[in-house]
Structure formats: structure tokens, C-alpha cells
């Protein structure tokens, strides 16, 4: 018995637990009855898309296919289309993988300012590093602003990333006013002719009034310094997040006018389905996904891949 047999069996057990491949449910020729619809509902709920969205999908299936013989491909087509339509919004078009900068709103002239916010520990700082790497790697001049002056060693963390990437960074001592760091970041971006300024902020829960006002102030200060900024206000959302993601999206949007979402930690077993509910209720699109802790683990969001992965076995 090796030391790690324990782990192997542990992982195997999870794989069993996670065998929620909804596709297994629907075998050709069977009747789509209430029991099957309920199993389907279970699969949808498991992705964290929420009761409302899951009910809507099941309703559609019941209406179109209920009591009839299952033709799996047809059913999948309907479900996939429905979810993709929600995720892509009115335009119906997604981002082009070949153009990783495509999802970003770019300033007509001067630096493009990207403000990044979200609740504690979701992956803001790491995502900023990944985004900076992406932009830096494509020849853009990037400047980071270490706007988390609160959390222990948050500035050091972003500084270490900036060194690895080889991009500029603006920092101030711990407990400095984060709005002043953001202002300085914009200032320096203009002065140094940067193409992008990415501003980190401290993690905060959306119910903390004072901290949400602080975020609002950061947003305001940026807008004052550079016209039209921030051109992009990205909300970072952890894929393991449940229905609280809705409250996060709505309150952060109020304070910082979110223009897009970075959905992190999709390399785990969580599906991140709450972004479906968020897109449905608030219209905020997912622009990037995080799939690991390293600099290259950032991808342009693809509704196609995302919807397929929702139903993937793990």
C-alpha cells in the first residue's frame, strides 16, 4: 500500500460523484418523461445556473419534447442554442479566439484603462497578471497600478508578477488611498505613453457600503483623469461561486459599471453556470476565463466551449 493509494481512491470516488454527464440521460428511443426531466434539471442545477434558468430550459424541453420519443441530438441542439443565445446576448456573436485582445474596449486615443474588481480571493491580481502578459506579449506597453493597498502583501504580489512579465508598475505604501494609486496609474500611463493601464483593487464584499463607495470613488477618479476611462471595467468571478454571483454582479455594476466578466478557476470541477443567470438578468458578458494559476492560463471566452463543458463529464 503506497502512501497515495488513498488519494487515488479519493479521486476515483469523486469521479463517481461527478458522473453527472447529462447526456447519459437521454438515450435514443426512450420516452422523455417527468423523471428524466427531473434528472435533467438536476444536471442543470449542478452547474450553478440557478433555479430560474434551469426551470426555463426544462420548460422548453417539456413543451417541445415532453412525452415523446427521445432523439438526443435534437434535444441537445435546442438546449445548447437556448443557453448560447443567453450567453451571447442580443448581438448573438461571440469573441474571436484568434484575436485575444478583441473582447476589450480600446480607447480611441491614449491609454486604455482597465479597472478590475471583485470579491475577496476570486483571482483579481492573478487575472491582471495574465491579461498584462497577453497584452505585453502582443507588443503593447502595459502599466499596472497596485490599487490594493489593504491586504497584506498585495502590493508585493502584483510587483512580483510585473517583474516576471517585464511591465511597468505603480505602487504606493500600504494603507494609501486606493483612488490616489489609480489616479497615479492613469497619470503615469499617459506620461510614459503606455497603451494599457490595468488597475488592481482590494477584494471587497458587495455588501460593504464603505468599500463599495471607495470603489465608486476609484471609478470616478479614473474618469476624471482620462476621458472615457475606464474603458473596460472587469468583474472577476470565481467559477465555484453559487447564486451569490448575481448579487456580486449587480452591486459591483452599480459601483463600477462593469463591462465584462473574467470567470476564473474553470480548471476545477465547478462549471461557473451562474454567469448564465447574470447575463440573463444583467446583460454582462463573460470576456475571459481563467484556467490555472500561471501567466498563460487565460483564454478568450467561447460560448460554444462553455456550454459544451457544462454537460461534460469530469
Partner 1 sequence: MFESITRNLGDALGSIARGRLTESNIRDGMGKVRQALLEADVNYDVAKAFTQRVTEQAVGEKVLKALRPAEQIVGIVYQELVSLMGPVDHSLAIRRGELSVIMMCGLQGAGKTTTCGKLARMLKEQGNKPMLVAADLQRPAAIEQLRVIGEQIGVPVYWEEAARSNPVQVCVNARKEARAHDCNVLILDTAGRLHVDDALMKELMEVDNKLMPDQALLVCDAMTGQDAVNSAKVFNDALELDGVILTKLDGDTRGGAALSVKAVTGVPIKFIGVGEQLDRLEKFHPDRMAQRILGQGDVATLLETA
Ligand X SMILES: Nc1nc2c(ncn2[C@@H]2O[C@H](COP(=O)(O)OP(=O)(O)OP(=O)(O)O)[C@@H](O)[C@H]2O)c(=O)[nH]1
Q: Residues forming the annotated binding site for GTP?
A: 118-125, 200-204, 264-267
Instruction: Name the 3-class secondary structure at 212.
Output: helix
Q: Mind spelling out the 3-state secondary structure of 175-220?
A: CCCHHHHHHHHHHHHHHCCCCEEEECCCCCCCCCHHHHHHHHHHHH
Cross-strand partners of 264:
238
| Closest CB 275 distance from ligand X, rounded Å | 14
Query: How many Å apart are CA 115 and CA 158, to the nearest integer?
Result: 15
Chain residues 39-68 in contact with Mg ion, contact rule CB under 5 A: none
Judged by the rule CB under 8 A, the positions of this chain that interact with partner 1 are 3-4, 6-7, 9-11, 13-14, 17-18, 42, 45-48, 50-51, 119-123, 150-154, 156-157, 159-161, 203, 205-208, 238, 240-247, 265, 267-271, 274, 293, 314
Q: Which of residues 214-273 bind ligand X (CB under 6 A)?
A: 236, 264-265, 267
Q: Is the peptide bond before 36 cis (omega within 30 degrees of 0)?
A: no
Cα–Cα distance list, 137 to 14, 77, 111, 304 (Å): 38, 38, 17, 26
| Residue 203 in the binding site for ligand X (CB under 6 A) | yes
Residue number, 96 or 293, with CB nearest to partner 1: 293
Residue 124 contacts Mg ion per CB under 5 A: yes
Stretch that binds ligand X, among 64-72, 148-156, 164-172, 243-251 (CB under 6 A): 148-156
> At closest approach, how far in Å is the CB of 2 from ligand X?
26
**Which residue's Cβ has the minimum distance to ligand X?**
203
Element (H, E) at 52: helix 50-65
Residue appearing with cell numbers 479597472:
115
Q: Which does 6 bind (CB under 5 to 8 A by kind): Mg ion, partner 1, ligand X, none?
A: partner 1
Q: What is the closest distance, in whole angstroms, from the C-beta atom of residue 66 to ligand X in the complex?
A: 39
Decide: is 149 part of the binding site for ligand X (CB under 6 A): no
Query: How many whole angstroms separate alpha carbon 170 and alpha carbon 283?
Result: 33
Amino acid at each position: 500500500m503506497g502512501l497515495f493509494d488513498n488519494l487515488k481512491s479519493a479521486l476515483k470516488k469523486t469521479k463517481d460523484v461527478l458522473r453527472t454527464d447529462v447526456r447519459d440521460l437521454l438515450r435514443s428511443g426512450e420516452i422523455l418523461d417527468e423523471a428524466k426531466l427531473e434528472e435533467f434539471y438536476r444536471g442543470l442545477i449542478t452547474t450553478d445556473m440557478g433555479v430560474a434558468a434551469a426551470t426555463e430550459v426544462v420548460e422548453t424541453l417539456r413543451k417541445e419534447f415532453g412525452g415523446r420519443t427521445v432523439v438526443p441530438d435534437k434535444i441537445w441542439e435546442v438546449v445548447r442554442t437556448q443557453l448560447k443565445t443567453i450567453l451571447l446576448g442580443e448581438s448573438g456573436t461571440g469573441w474571436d479566439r484568434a484575436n485575444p485582445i478583441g473582447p476589450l474596449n480600446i480607447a480611441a486615443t491614449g491609454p486604455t484603462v482597465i479597472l478590475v474588481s471583485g470579491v475577496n480571493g476570486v483571482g483579481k491580481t492573478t487575472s491582471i497578471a495574465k491579461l498584462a502578459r497577453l497584452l505585453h506579449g502582443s507588443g503593447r506597453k502595459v502599466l499596472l497600478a497596485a490599487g490594493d493597498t489593504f491586504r497584506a502583501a498585495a502590493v508585493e504580489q502584483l510587483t512580483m508578477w510585473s517583474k516576471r512579465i517585464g511591465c511597468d508598475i505603480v505602487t504606493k505604501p500600504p494603507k494609501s488611498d486606493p483612488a490616489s494609486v489609480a489616479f497615479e496609474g492613469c497619470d503615469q500611463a499617459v506620461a510614459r505613453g503606455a497603451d494599457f493601464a490595468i488597475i488592481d483593487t482590494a477584494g471587497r464584499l458587495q455588501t460593504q457600503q464603505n468599500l463599495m463607495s471607495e470603489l465608486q470613488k476609484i471609478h470616478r477618479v479614473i474618469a476624471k483623469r482620462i476621458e472615457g476611462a475606464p474603458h473596460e471595467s472587469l468583474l472577476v468571478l470565481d467559477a465555484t461561486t453559487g447564486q451569490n454571483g448575481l448579487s456580486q454582479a449587480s452591486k459591483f455594476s452599480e459601483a463600477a459599471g462593469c463591462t465584462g466578466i473574467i470567470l476564473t478557476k474553470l480548471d476545477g470541477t465547478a462549471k461557473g453556470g451562474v454567469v448564465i443567470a447574470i447575463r440573463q438578468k444583467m446583460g454582462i458578458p463573460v470576456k475571459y476565463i481563467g484556467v490555472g494559476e500561471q501567466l498563460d492560463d487565460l483564454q478568450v471566452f467561447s460560448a460554444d466551449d462553455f456550454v459544451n463543458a457544462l454537460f461534460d463529464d469530469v
